[in-house]
Amino acid sequence: MTQRLNYAQQSPELFKKLSDLSMAMKDSVIEQKIRDLVNIRASQINGCAFCLDMHVKEAKIHGESELRLYHVAIWRESKLFIPHERAALAWTEAVTSLAQGGIPDELYERVRGQLSEKEVSDLTFSIMTINAWNRASIAFKAVPGSADKLYGLDKAGLN
């Protein structure tokens, strides 16, 4: 694999602003469990190995069960997710993989049946944030697990 640049070192001001946005999400109305599921699902869709590795480990540290982690990719068929989580996952997929013509009103109405306006708004910012990280990590070929010690992810017990 070709070594690529370290975007955090090359653009520290911009990296910090994106990091600040990520940290601000902790104060949103979206609970940690949902943010973990969103980060995992968007990273799966985008094929971001670094972020998927990171967020699975974070979710495990936050108390998520391994079986639910395995089922994120098949959430529609799984019985392990409640309606609120299903709405967040459906919205994550729609916002991450924007279809031509945008997001159908039917999906928006289904999501709004489970989430408040504030939750949909905050959730959308959460999805936008993980998609930005996915794109940077993919563009610069971030190595999965390379920041485990820095972020305390070695505590997940998934090495």
Tens digits of per-residue pLDDT, 103-148?
999 999 999 999 999 999 999 999 999 999 999 999 999 999 988 8
Tokens of 147: 């920041």
Q: How far apart are CA 39 and CA 76, in angstroms?
A: 17
The values of phi and psi at residue 82, to 5°, are -80, 165
114 assigned to some structural domain: yes
pLDDT score at 111: 98
Tens digits of per-residue pLDDT, 59-98?
999 999 999 999 999 999 999 999 999 999 999 999 999 9
Q: How far apart are CA 140 and CA 129, in angstroms?
A: 17
94 assigned to some structural domain: yes
Which CATH number covers residue 49?
Answer: 1.20.1290.10
54 assigned to some structural domain: yes
Residue 40, domain extent? 30-141
Q: How many domains does the chain have?
A: 1
